[in-house]
Amino acid sequence: MPPSISAFQAAYIGIEVLIALVSVPGNVLVIWAVKVNQALRDATFCFIVSLAVADVAVGALVIPLAILINIGPQTYFHTCLMVACPVLILTQSSILALLAIAVDRYLRVKIPLRYKMVVTPRKAAVAIAGCWILSFVVGLTPMFGWNNLSAVERAWAANGSMGEPVIKCEFEKVISMEYMVYFNFFVWVLPPLLLMVLIYLEVFYLIRKQLNKKVSASSGDPQKYYGKELKIAKSLALILFLFALSWLPLHILNCITLFCPSCHKPSILTYIAIFLTHGNSAMNPIVYAFRIQKFRVTFLKIWNDHFRCQPAPPIDEDLPEERPDD
């Protein structure tokens, strides 16, 4: 008999479905925009596509699995473990894509004349593939043995049961908090986030330095180049800030679970933290639309061409990266 769903669970499921309905079309639109607009084909936007692919998977795969876990079906241990691992893979992919974007923006302002020789499409593709491979290794580590199987088996045997344990599928029941805190958070989440903060601080410093130098030299083209770089860097730094704001609360709760097992965690805080992590996948297309003009114009063109049947004028690839008032 399937488990009954409470009113609270129904509300949770409704919010998750709403997030998915925003996240999936929004990020598909991002991928579509990069495909149709040649001006969005440099390395940065390739990494943005990788980030969007991860966000589509959050809406199409992770959220349905999260809803399944919330309902709490009875499953074999390793089945539940397989359900829990995709979110770890996609989170890591997002972090590495954000790190790649930060490094790319740094190279654009540090070596602008040699940038296109250093960052080629082939190297960008290799970097994206490497990010995804590493994400699978990190995210699937619990499948290789770093999980709660031993504790579950002891409890299963204590009840006189035989064979593979059958459990109520819950994330914390199968995923080790030592893995989540010591390996996932302290190694693969927190250090990359801190490194990205340092990179963006250096990017802003280099851009401001160049802008001051070019203003005094009254040089128009470099002024325009670094002005556009400053605007796009602000937008991408905002993406990073929103990611950190969305994911740090859940990792902090994991730290509390590990270091203070007796501490009471209100369930509403856990649900809010989960909503933030899933909601982050829906935020990026909104930021792109409001902050980066090439995305905004391309989104409107796609809407007019394919949904309103009113072909838009050709996209001007010389548009500034963002609105002048940003």
Cβ neighbours of residue 148 closer than 8 Å, sequence gap 6 or more: 173, 174, 175, 176
**Mean pLDDT for the stretch of residues 29-41:** 93
Residue 194 class from Cβ within 10 Å (0-12 exposed, 13-18 middle, 19+ buried)? Answer: exposed
Identify whether 323 is part of a domain: no
Reply yes or no on whether the pLDDT at 164 is more than 80. Answer: yes
Reply yes or no on whether the pLDDT at 2 is more than 70. Answer: no
| Segments forming the whole domain that contains residue 173 | 5-305
Identify whether 313 is part of a domain: no
Cβ neighbours of residue 195 closer than 8 Å, sequence gap 6 or more: 99, 102
Phi then psi for residue 263, to 5 deg, are -70, 140
Q: CA nearest 167: which of 149, 179, 185?
A: 149
Identify whether 272 is part of a domain: yes
User: Who has greater pLDDT, 225 or 87?
Assistant: 87
Q: pLDDT value at position 3?
A: 60
What are the pLDDT digits (tens) for 217-231? 444 567 788 888 999
Identify whether 310 is part of a domain: no
Task: Give the integer Cα–Cα distance in Å for 121 and 102.
Answer: 17
Q: pLDDT value at position 314?
A: 62
Q: pLDDT value at position 1?
A: 47
CB 234 within 8 A of CB 326: yes
CB 153 within 8 A of CB 165: yes
| Lowest-pLDDT choice from 38-52, 267-281, 303-317 | 303-317
Please state, rounded to an integer, the average pLDDT across all residues of the chain. Answer: 90
Q: How far is CA 189 from CA 54, 124, 182, 194, in A?
A: 16, 22, 10, 9
Q: pLDDT value at position 212?
A: 84
Identify whether 316 is part of a domain: no
Q: pLDDT value at position 315?
A: 60
Q: pLDDT value at position 307?
A: 84
Identify whether 322 is part of a domain: no
Phi then psi for residue 168, to 5 deg, are -75, 120
Identify whether 74 is part of a domain: yes
Q: How many domains does the chain have?
A: 1
To which H or E segment does residue 249 belong?
A: helix 220-259
**Mean pLDDT for the stretch of residues 95-104:** 96
CATH of the domain at 287: 1.20.1070.10
**Mean pLDDT for the stretch of residues 1-22:** 86
Q: CA nearest 191: which of 261, 263, 244?
A: 244
CA atoms within 13 A on the CB side of 8: 5
**Mean pLDDT for the stretch of residues 22-46:** 93
Q: pLDDT value at position 320?
A: 46
Q: pLDDT value at position 222?
A: 76
What are the pLDDT digits (tens) for 116-127? 999 998 999 999
